[in-house]
Amino acid sequence: MTSTTTTSRQPDPGPDPDRDPATASAAAPPGRARVALFGAGPWAAATQAPAIAGHDGVDFAGVWARRPEAARALADAHGTTAYSGEDGIGELLAACDAAAFALPPDVQAPLAARAARAGRHVLLDKPVATDVAAARAAADAVARAGVASVVFCTLRFARETRLWIDRQIATGGWFTARAQWLGALYAPGGTSPYAASPWRRERGGLWDLGPHMLSVLIPVLGEVTAVTAAPGPEGTAHLVLRHASGASSTATLGLSAPPKAASVIVECLGDSGTTVMPEWSDPVAAFRDALDALLESARTGRPHPCDIHFGTRLTELLATAEGQMAEISEPSASSAGV
């Protein structure tokens, strides 16, 4: 089944208790920006926290986490203040100019909306949400508040892949592309700390890896006008996309591949021949560049291409694909050879 989706907005949920009329504006933060981090899991500890702490132009305002001990451990490691609980959310929002998030997507979205209504610029993780209504509500809150937003799709900010994407946009003339990200996160004997993530295990590679691949394909080939999706083995997702440029693309996404099959590939084919996306490194530097992009957007008032509205579009596309996959049952063992 092929489906075409459109973007719409929902009303803002109304006043927020954290909103400070004196500071809730779209103005760029004066001097050194105070940046807060919401989340203290493995991704926050490995990427967001060291990036914020090591950034020469910002002050690390603090860390909020649901578990006080997790907030304290990460805050202590970087010489900042720990916050937790409902009161801690409001206290940290009052102490910052921008809020970065490293939380499960459907926890992130309402907190990002709350931060925006408090006048704070927001740097979100991908996906913005797995629920379309929640993503749209957060995007609408950002638009109403006039604050800046960036979604950290790693491939858009890692230097090696960012420059490659820019070159392919400038080259144009693409006929088709294929993207494949097969991880072995849930392979027997795996030791990755991300395997313990409940939302990742529940929603799979479609939601964890799909935003990465779409964030590359869309700027190069154009807006997605139609998506067709089908399930593969062990939760793998297969997508076929049509783009506004007339090009088509495919994406294969999974977290349960055999270790020797794990791979990341993006290949574009067109008038100029074939080109393959390079490998990338240093997610901490990539997140630091995403933070720079947020501060630049706050200073200039110009939206970043990978902002919350783009992130909401990714949620819409992935939700459409997930719905299609749910309608297709995987073949049973008895019928596999028919």
Q: What is the pLDDT of residue 330?
A: 54
Q: Is 61 in a helix, a strand, or coil? A: strand
Look-up of token digits 């495919």: 250
Helix intervals (H) in 118-274: 132-145, 154-157, 159-171, 198-221
Best CA proximity match to 84, nearest among 74, 58, 104: 74
> What band does 189 get if pLDDT is binned at 50, 70 and 90?
confident
Render pLDDT for 300-327 as a digit per residue (tens, 0 to 9).
999 999 999 999 999 999 999 999 999 9
SS3 category, 44: helix
The whole-angstrom separation of Cα 297 and Cα 28 is 8
> To the nearest whole percent, how much of the chain has pLDDT over 90?
84
Q: How far apart are CA 128 and CA 206, in angstroms?
A: 14
Residue 161 in tokens: 């892949």
CA atoms within 13 A on the CB side of 171: 18
Confidence of residue 191 (pLDDT cuts 50, 70, 90): confident
List C-alpha distances in Å: 126 to 1, 101, 262. 26, 10, 21
Which residues share a beta bridge with 35? 60, 98
Instruction: Tell me: pLDDT of 24 over 80.
Output: no
What is the rounded average pLDDT of the residues 192-219? Answer: 94
Instruction: Inform me whether the pLDDT recorded for 229 exceeds 70.
Output: yes
Residue 247 has pLDDT above 70, yes or no: yes
Q: What is the pLDDT of residue 18?
A: 54
Residue 193 CB neighbours (<10 A) = 11
User: What does the mean pLDDT of the chain come to?
Assistant: 90
| Token pair for 181 | 């990200």
Phi-psi region of 263 (alpha: psi -120 to 50; beta: other; left: phi over 0): beta
pLDDT band at residue 193, thresholds of 50, 70 and 90?
A: confident
With a cut of 80, say whether residue 289 has pLDDT above it. Answer: yes
Kindly report the CA angle at 136 between 134 and 141, in degrees rounded to 5? 95
Q: How far apart are CA 95 and CA 75, in angstroms?
A: 15
**Is it the case that residue 136 has pLDDT exceeding 90?**
yes
Q: pLDDT at residue 12 above 50?
A: no
Q: Residue 4: what pLDDT?
A: 37
Question: Nearest CA to 53 among 93, 30, 92, 80?
Answer: 80
Q: Which of 44-58, 81-95, 261-275, 316-330 has the lowest mean pLDDT?
A: 316-330
137-146, 195-204, 245-254: which range is least confident on average? 195-204
Nearest-5° angle of CA 214, CA 312, CA 185?
A: 50
pLDDT for res 267: 98
Which residue carries 């020469």 as its tokens? Answer: 56
Q: Strand pairing partners for 237?
A: 231, 253
Least confident of 124-133, 189-198, 246-255: 189-198
Taking the C-alpha atoms of residue 176 and residue 217, their distance in angstroms, rounded to an integer, is 10
pLDDT of residue 31: 77
